[in-house]
Chain A
Amino acid sequence: MSPGTFLIMRHELLLIAAALSVLIAEIFWNPEKKKSISLFSIILFGVVTIIGFLPSPAGALFGGMYISSGARLLMKNILNIGVLLVFIQSVTWLKKEENVEKISEYFLLLISTVVGMNFMISAGHFLIFYIGIELATIPIAALAAYDRYRNKSAEAGIKLILSSALSSGILLYGLSMIYGTTGTLYFTEVTKLFGNNNLQILGFIFFFAGMAFKISIVPFHLWTADVYEGSPVNITSYLSVISKGAAVFILIIILFTVFPVIIATWQKTIFVTSILTMTIANLFAIRQQNLKRFLAFSSISQAGYILLGIIGGNQLGMASVIYYILVYIFSNLGAFGVVTAISNATGKENIDDYNGLYQTNPKLSLIMTLALFSLAGIPPVAGFFGKFFLFTAAAQKGYYLLVLIAVLNTIISLFYYLLVVKAMFIIKSENPIKKFRSDFPTRFALGICVAGIVITGFASIIFEAIRNLSFGV
């Protein structure tokens, strides 16, 4: 093994180094200095993110268990950007008295999940994939219970760990069937040996169900709202953006590279689940009062739209999915950023509390509106372009009915997004949230989100770059 081969695993190695540095800092720094662990970790992670964009060799390691390619590197880089934003957004929250003790835990655990996601995305073998997915999930369960003295937070942690254990079980069961019928777990070999054997199809269905849990696709979404509501806001935003994005990435890679033989099967599966996901999540979202639950259901419905990009199995589809995740990171983190800022300042998390927000905090209201419009797919913000490309990808393969159902669903989603806009701009309140000024990290992160929401759409170069790295079945 030459030193050059290490470069192929650069992302993972750097992340592990970053995690270890945080650990060492926690052990050796004196207590006064520990408050700056936030800054230290963010700078470390920022450096890792930047290095990630440097050109990197593609190739396979460990006999094909680990694969690195342009598309996979791109996915990792996009996730890194999102994680960095979440880190910056959580600084204010970590400064709170009850959290100061646990700052390094937060960063250490989150960086480990990123390591897990990176391994998962680079997997060339189902075992690596499985290890990655576990590493990406279990630490989050610990973090969901971060406010462990709050019952809801503890409940969220338990719910997350139990449901992810269940989904892992289902996933493993499916993998065992695949192994039983093909005798291998290497992606390349499974592809060759896969046919339309019933047991193999059953194995695939179990695999898909397991992934559906992770992405929270209806009917496997029931854990989502409770976990999102109970967890601290920053963990919720991490779960809804980064974890979901990583799971979508690996799902699309596996569907496109491992299961192209049974494309007809998974197209049918996705057709049904995508309609269910969009419709049910949107209908539930209408009734939510808590903004975290609200955004939870909104993020489930977003997963339904994302499936539209996967269903065609085409290059445009993969490009639109990766692009949409990028846009979604900015939009959803923008919305969560506002929720975090308000929750930190006032502790309020209900839609009613936002009544009259524009009068007192116009900037936050405008950012929230921009983010919600982007999630709803309203021009000229990036969400419009993202949705348009997803729909184009599905239409390219003739799924016009599905596209029609999806666009009608965006109308439902527009309805509930507008409810929040209405609360902020139209409804008068006797007792609106007081005017407050957020601190620098919050404003910085929100600024990046806004820039991302505005620029990502117009700058066609981003989409074209993503498309050039994508591939179809």
Chain B
Amino acid sequence: MDILSLFIVIPVLTITAIIFLKDAHQVRLVSAFGMGLQLLMAASLVFLYLAARHAGNSDEMLFVKDYLWFKSLNIHYAVGVDGISVAMITLTSLVVFAGIFASWEVEFLRKEFFVSLILLATGVFGFFISIDLFTMFLFYELAVIPMYLLIGIWGTGPKEYSAMKLTLMLMGGSALILVGLLGIYFNSSPGGSQLTFNILEISKVVIPLPAQRIFFPLTFVGFGVLGALFPFHTWSPDGHASAPTAVSMLHAGVLMKLGGYGAFRVAIFLMPEAAHELSWIFIILTSISVIYGAFGAIAQKDLKYINAYSSVSHCGLVLFAVLMMNQTAMNGAIIQMISHGLMTALFFALIGMLYGRTHTRMINEMGGLMKVIPFLSVCYVIAGLASLGLPGLSGFVAEMTIFVGAFQHPELFYRIVTILAVSSIVITAVYILRVVAILLLGPTTNEHFEHLTDAKWFEKISAITLIGSVAAIGLAPFWLSTMIGTSLHPIIEKILALNPF
């Protein structure tokens, strides 16, 4: 068994164990154990990966394993990772681990909850380790479907509507991806040799430009739906607001990154010519996402909606940076994915904890929480500061890199959109500071809040895991950006070779 397949095997074993457990109380222990193991695996994967790179292994993908699956269609189960996927896997295992602890007190159908949650995680892990488009797509859909039950059963508010909307929109995105993948597959060998789904092999050929012009937009928009690309982002606020805490964490923290990662790894990497040609359309759309999301967040009163719109804005920035197609901006895009994943997961976890105490998510009904529940409040401030890009935390590194990269383009168009996108930082500061001021500072408005208790041990585990990671990236971003940067080289080279600009 290779190390990467273990990332699928462990969750599957955990699920199996949970199904056969008789005692509902042990369910969360087993989940925590399984996902803790996964986190350790992720940590050791990082070390193994760095060690292999130090040893001089310069392959594009490491730990590659390839098993032939459907011979006639040349479909393989193929796994492999580069620095980017390693970073994403680490992010996923952190968020899932924190998510398990954030949902420690789920009572209703506890077994089913953890099974669905871990199934969702299995899909995400599988997606990040795949280098075969077929298995990648399979895992992608596997990650989307448990969302329906997770939101529909354990959600709050108009959960049935939100769950259906989210599922159908994301599956709509995957419909476009499917057509795009088939298009890539049937153009994967212009020379007439065997067709392939393998990303590395496809990246060596040039897909004919007329085909790229059709399949690039399909693939990019398909993944863009999950990355909250305007105007396909509307599932995100409803979905996040209705989802239970851990699901919001996982969804905004990890699942939306599937969109960014896919847009980058499949759409742009495999079809750079069309990406270069058509990027202006999508740059405009993503700029709208960035600004519109930030303004949307200002207008909201529900904490989850604020954070959901803020996610639209931040994930828009990921796609924006990816489309800049140069080393610095792409590097920033990946760091932004990691940073936003951790930060937004932290936000949603804290919102869930606050909601569990105050039973409201409306900011104008709360106030003065800092005195009552200092631990949670301080965590909330840290998350907020990370979100508005304070130096020392991860958000700063990511956004700085993105804007520097975007500004490297000399054309007026790029300058204008970059300036527009930069302005989102200011707007972000407005809504973050406003929330912090109303929510945490000032007098306690509601006497019921006087008796609130601060975070319990499992909530602390969840929050500290995430804050530690956010701070680690903010204080020592270089190991991460080196890991990503070396992996970006082959991709950037491919782009530059075709479009010197």
Residue ranges of A at the interface with B (Cβ–Cβ < 8 Å)? 316, 319, 373, 378-380, 384, 388-389, 391-392, 395-396, 400, 403-404, 407-408, 410-411, 414-415, 418, 421-422, 425-426, 460, 463-464, 467
Contacts and interface: CB of A to CB of B under 8 A. Distances in A.
A460 B69 CA distance: 6
Contacts, number: 82
A463 B134 CA distance: 16
Nearest to A408: B175
B72 interface: yes
B70 A464 contact: yes
B160 interface: yes
B138 A380 contact: yes
Contacts of B214: 400
Contact of A373 (B69, B72, B145, B152): B145
B171 interface: yes
A414 B167 contact: yes
Given A396-B186, A408-B172, A421-B148, 10 more contacts: A379-B141, A392-B182, A400-B179, A400-B183, A408-B175, A410-B171, A410-B175, A411-B171, A414-B171, A460-B71
B142 interface: yes
B64 interface: no
A404 B179 contact: yes
A460 B148 CA distance: 29
B72 A425 contact: no
Contacts of B148: 418, 421
How many chain B residues sit at the interface, stated as a range, is: 20 to 34
B70 A426 contact: no
A391 to B, nearest CB: 6
A421 B73 CA distance: 33
Name, among B149, B152, B167, B179, the residue most crowded by chain A CB atoms within 10 Å (CB to CB). Answer: B179
A425 B149 contact: yes
B179 A418 contact: no
B62 interface: no
The list of the 4 closest CB pairs from A to B, nearest first, reads: A407-B175, A395-B182, A426-B152, A379-B138
Nearest to B173: A411
A13 B75 CA distance: 40
Interface in B114-151: 134, 138-139, 141-142, 145, 148-149
Interface string B62-89: 0000000111110100000000000000
A384 B145 contact: no
A432 to B, nearest CB: 15
A422 B176 CA distance: 25
Contact of A415 (B134, B145, B168, B186): B168
B167 A418 contact: yes
Contacts of B149: 421, 425-426
Contacts of B145: 373, 378
A373 B141 CA distance: 12
B160 A422 contact: yes
Contacts of A396: 186
A395 B186 contact: yes
B362 interface: no
Contacts of B69: 460
Contacts of B75: 460
Nearest to B139: A379
A396 to B, nearest CB: 6
B170 to A, nearest CB: 10
A190 B75 CA distance: 39
9 contacts: A316-B72, A373-B145, A378-B145, A403-B179, A407-B175, A414-B171, A426-B152, A460-B71, A463-B70
Nearest to A359: B109
A373 B159 CA distance: 21
A391 B175 contact: no
Contacts of A389: 73
A404 B222 CA distance: 12
B269 to A, nearest CB: 21
Contacts of A373: 145
B178 interface: yes
Contacts of A404: 175-176, 179
Interface in B312-330: none
Interface of B: 69-73, 75, 134, 138-139, 141-142, 145, 148-149, 152-153, 159-160, 163-164, 167-168, 171-172, 175-176, 178-179, 182-183, 185-186, 214
A375 to B, nearest CB: 14
Contacts of A391: 178, 182
Nearest to B178: A407
A460 B135 CA distance: 13
Nearest to A380: B142
A395 B152 CA distance: 35
A411 B175 contact: yes
A409 to B, nearest CB: 9
B138 A403 contact: no
Nearest to B177: A407
Given A426-B160, A460-B69, A384 B138 contact: yes
Contacts of A403: 178-179, 182
Contacts of A418: 148, 164, 167
A379 B135 CA distance: 10
B76 to A, nearest CB: 11
B106 to A, nearest CB: 15
A414 B73 CA distance: 26
Name, among A378, A379, A400, A421, the residue most crowded by chain B CB atoms within 10 Å (CB to CB). Answer: A379
A395 B73 CA distance: 13
Contacts of B175: 404, 407-408, 410-411
B72 A378 contact: no
B188 to A, nearest CB: 12
Nearest to B215: A400
Contacts of A426: 149, 152-153, 159-160, 163
Contacts of A464: 70-72
B28 to A, nearest CB: 20
A470 to B, nearest CB: 10
Contacts of B167: 414, 418
A396 B182 CA distance: 8
B244 to A, nearest CB: 13
Given A380-B142, A425-B149, A426-B152, A415 B164 contact: yes
Contacts of A407: 175-176, 178-179
A360 to B, nearest CB: 13
A362 B142 CA distance: 21
A403 B185 CA distance: 14
B299 to A, nearest CB: 30
B138 A392 contact: no
Contact of B153 (A379, A408, A425): A425
A285 to B, nearest CB: 15
B183 A395 contact: yes
A410 B134 CA distance: 18
Contacts of B172: 408, 411
B476 to A, nearest CB: 39
A132 B176 CA distance: 42
Contacts of B72: 316, 319, 463-464, 467
Contact of A422 (B71, B152, B178, B179): B152
Contacts of A410: 171, 175
Contacts of A400: 179, 182-183, 214
A415 B163 CA distance: 11
Nearest to B119: A380
A403 B186 CA distance: 14
Nearest to B174: A407
Nearest to B152: A426
A218 B163 CA distance: 31
Contact of A425 (B73, B142, B152): B152
A274 to B, nearest CB: 16
Contacts of B138: 379-380, 384
Contacts of B178: 388, 391, 403, 407
Name, among B72, B134, B185, the residue most crowded by chain A CB atoms within 10 Å (CB to CB). Answer: B72
Name, among B69, B148, B176, B185, the residue most crowded by chain A CB atoms within 10 Å (CB to CB). Answer: B148
Contacts of A411: 168, 171-172, 175
